[in-house]
Amino acid sequence: MIDLHTHTLLSDGTLLPSELVRRAEVKGYTAIAITDHVDFSNIDFVLPRIVKVCRELNRHWKIRVIPGVEITHVPLQDITPLVRFARKKGAGIVIVHGETISEPVLPGTNRQAIKAGCDILAHPGMITMEDARLAMAKGVYLELTTRKNHRRTNLHVFKIARAAGAKLVLNNDAHSPADLVSDSKARRILKNLGLKKPEIEAIFRNASDLSQRA
């Protein structure tokens, strides 16, 4: 299992980065990205600490720990500069908080995040076919999620992505230990959406490919 979307007490999670990573390792995860919420108010504080702890943990533990951020609820004009800043300062995974139906995300965020070339568009809600095709062209991964408040649109995201040829990843959007699902539960969630085994395996390969690229 690989999770490329997690949060610690550096934003709205409950655990220190090291504890989150240790708990993931014990559950059999091979890679995890720490992607705390950022905007222009805190990215210069949060990201260096994530980079530092990832570097330290990678020295000592087998699980691969990837520094990242989730750009969250920002003006559309800020998305591209923040993506560029995050990459410059060491983020291996750059996520943008997509237009989930459970939060008042600015309309147009999905499109601007894809244009900015983020790595993953998180919980993109009722994403349009046009935006999914753009994601395919730009190499942006669309997220399916195990998180209850966002996963109501998983089936829509899957169908649109499949039709558009966009790549998918499955993430936990973990904020606490209980959010770290097992490999078997992750596969069951995808199977319950109606995905066939080759489609499920492709999603897991996508996560592996993206983690190795980071």
Query: What's the pLDDT tens digit per position in 12-59?
Result: 999 999 999 999 999 999 999 999 999 999 999 999 999 999 999 999
Q: Specify the pLDDT at position 3.
A: 98
Angle 154-164/129-138 helices, nearest 10 degrees? Answer: 60
Taking the complete model, does pTM exceed 0.95, yes or no? Answer: yes
Percent of the chain with pLDDT over 70: 100
**Could you say which residues of the chain have pLDDT below 70?**
none
Q: Specify the pLDDT at position 90.
A: 98
Q: Specify the pLDDT at position 64.
A: 98
The H-assigned helical ranges of the chain are 17-26, 43-60, 76-88, 109-116, 129-138, 154-164, 183-192, 197-213
Domains in the chain, number: 1
Structure tokens at 76: 């559309």
Q: Specify the pLDDT at position 210.
A: 97
Q: Is 183 left (phi over 0), alpha (psi -120 to 50) or beta?
A: alpha
Beta bridge partners of 161: none
**For the domain that residue 175 is a member of, what is the CATH number?**
3.20.20.140
- Domain residues for the domain of 194 are 2-213
Q: Specify the pLDDT at position 152.
A: 95
